[in-house]
């Protein structure tokens, strides 16, 4: 049951690792996913990871994905390592390695486009560059958790897309009695 819930978060990590073709650290995975999510929000109005980004010192970090990575590293408490050990392993440098391929059926064409764009643009960039670039207005305005609308604006979303995201968020957060 918990594995099914975590698939939403596991698959984007697997996608990035498989496409990168090498082990990556927490920072690199987090920033590649952030820029992919930011682009997808700005262009299509939805997040790829469906995760909540948290404002951290070195830039945005996807909360549940961070918990998964910490569990792989044996540093987690929220998610058990046994729940995710069939998907990932840890390198000697404390980097994450994919043990399986991502499931292409879990992604739309637009999601793969934005993930690929982010991987191509950010995989070779330095820690400092990625930290600086991710300190955008959405990050600056956040106290702790970051707002999807501000992330979309930071990604260049126009007013029509912002209205769409607001309406979409209202529908998702509606409580039917």
DSSP secondary structure string, 89-117? EE-TTS-EEESS---GGGS-HHHHHHHHH
Q: How many CB atoms lie within 10 A of CB 95?
A: 19
Mean pLDDT computed over every residue of the chain: 94
Distance CA(55)–CA(71), nearest Å, equals 20
How many whole angstroms from its chain centre is CA 147? Answer: 14
Q: What is the dihedral of CA 103, 6, 133, 55, to 10 degrees?
A: 170
**pLDDT of the residue at 1:** 40
3-state class of 56 per DSSP? strand
Residues of the chain with pLDDT > 70: what percent?
A: 97
Average pLDDT (15-43) is 98
Lowest mean pLDDT, pick from 68-72, 97-101, 131-135: 68-72
Average pLDDT (97-113) is 98
The whole-model pTM stands at: 0.94
Per-residue pLDDT at 78 exceeds 70: yes
**pLDDT of the residue at 175:** 66
Question: What confidence tier does 80 reach under pLDDT thresholds 50, 70, 90?
Answer: confident
45: left (phi over 0), alpha (psi -120 to 50) or beta: left
- Count of residues making up the chain: 177
3-state class of 60 per DSSP? strand
Lowest mean pLDDT, pick from 3-17, 38-52, 125-139: 3-17
Contacts 24+ apart (CB under 8 A), 128-133: 130/27, 130/28, 130/31, 130/59, 131/27, 131/31, 131/58, 131/59, 133/31, 133/35, 133/59
Cα Rg of the chain, angstroms: 16
Comparison of pLDDT for 158 and 76, the residue scoring more: 158
Per-residue pLDDT at 2 exceeds 80: no
């Amino acid at each position: 049951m918990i594995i099914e819930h975590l698939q939403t978060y596991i698959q984007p990590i697997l996608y990035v690792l498989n496409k990168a073709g090498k082990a990556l650290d927490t920072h690199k995975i987090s920033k590649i996913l952030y820029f992919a999510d930011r682009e997808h929000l700005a262009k299509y109005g939805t997040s790829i990871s469906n995760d909540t980004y948290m404002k951290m010192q070195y830039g945005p970090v996807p909360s549940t994905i961070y918990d998964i990575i910490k569990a792989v590293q044996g540093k987690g408490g929220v998610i058990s390592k046994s729940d995710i050990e069939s998907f990932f392993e840890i390198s000697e440098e404390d980097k994450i390695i994919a043990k399986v391929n991502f499931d292409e059926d879990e992604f739309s064409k637009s999601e793969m486009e934005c993930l690929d764009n982010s991987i191509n643009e950010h995989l070779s960039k330095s820690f400092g560059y990625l930290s600086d670039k991710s300190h955008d207005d959405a990050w600056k305005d956040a106290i702790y958790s970051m707002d999807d609308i501000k992330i979309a604006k930071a990604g260049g979303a126009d007013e029509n897309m912002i209205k769409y995201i607001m309406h979409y968020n209202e529908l998702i957060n509606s409580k039917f009695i």
